[in-house]
Amino acid sequence: MPEIRYNPITSDWVIIATERAKRPHEFIQTDREKLIVPAYRPDCPFCFGNEDHTPDEIYRLCNDQGWRVRIVSNKYPALSSEGERQWIRRGFFRTVTGVGHHDVVIEHPDHNAAIAGMNAEDVLNILRVYRTRYQELRQDPRVKAIVIFKNHGMEAGTSLEHPHSQIAATPIVPTQFRDRLDMATRFFDTGGECLFCRVLEEELATGERIVAQNADFVAFIPYAALSPFHLWIFPRRHISSFDSTADSELASFASILREVTAKIYYGLGDPAYNFTIRSSPTDEHQTDYFHWYLAIVPRVSRAAGFEMGSGMYINTSLPEASAEFLRSVIVPS
């Protein structure tokens, strides 16, 4: 019989469609055309040597080989770095001026690099740049929330092949942020404990949905995962804001992020995916009730009319089976 599971962090009810569930190997992307991607493309603005083809550079991290990660302004920004944050009322309707920041993080000089195949230092460099830019953006009083996200593959919404991610700093706290904060605040107010820490404690106790773990982080598929192989990476230490992550923890984060994306790459045939770092709003830098984490959503299924009409999700993969499958994936050394 199908189960309808509750996700206490997102407040979503999810139908685990056991009657129509697929086995994990059925999600492997065997129909994707495998192309040989070169390390350099002369027409790619993000490749090494083409730096003058990008918009203004904001930051770069270098070593003795040259730059390793760059941040540039988004050529087509969703938000403007110029102007003031103002509320505007037009009768019943409300508007906020679209000020903020919209950056592109060029993750590697090579066109064919991917987090799943990078070395540990390269992944750590990306996270260092995320943290540095996050700390800078949080100082802008117009900024109320910061979203770090990556679109990998066309199905996930990427428009350029070269490995990159984005950082958006918004002048409002998005509703999804507020909903998660509300759930976490209520839970803390009624029991005096962090909802995220409790979920992590429960997942570690059962162990059946754990995919990978190290001294500082745990990767697991939630009990009520919204879609097949939907995966979360939680820091073990209670940290509300991503930019408060310590250097040693950041290295552990790089290690587990690389491991998990490699398991997805090799186990599921390099599917498109989105990931996002969910952190506290800038005005709530450190709280007792919010705990930052990273969510990865492989695009191996599609939402349809039921999801749009009900707001509920149908997951055709049992979370426990998905976690077991990813645990078993052997990543080539």
Catalytic residue list: 164
Look up residue 233 and give its DSSP letter.
E
Q: Is 197 annotated as a binding residue?
A: no
- Separation between Cα atoms, residue 242 and residue 221, nearest integer Å: 20
- Separation between Cα atoms, residue 196 and residue 202, nearest integer Å: 10
Q: Is 44 annotated as a binding residue?
A: yes
With beta carbons less than 8 A apart as the criterion, state whether 6 and 224 touch: yes
Burial profile 5-39: b = 16 or more Cβ within 10 angstroms, e = fewer: bebbbbebebbbbeeebbebeebebeeeeeeeeee
Q: Is 111 annotated as a binding residue?
A: yes
Tokens of 178: 């507020």
If you write DSSP's letter for every residue of 152-179 in order, what string do you get? ESGGGT---SS-EEEEEEESS--HHHHH
313 - beta bridge partners? 14
- Separation between Cα atoms, residue 203 and residue 209, nearest integer Å: 7
Q: Is 47 annotated as a binding residue?
A: yes
- Which residues sit in the known binding site for Zn(2+)? 44, 47, 111, 162
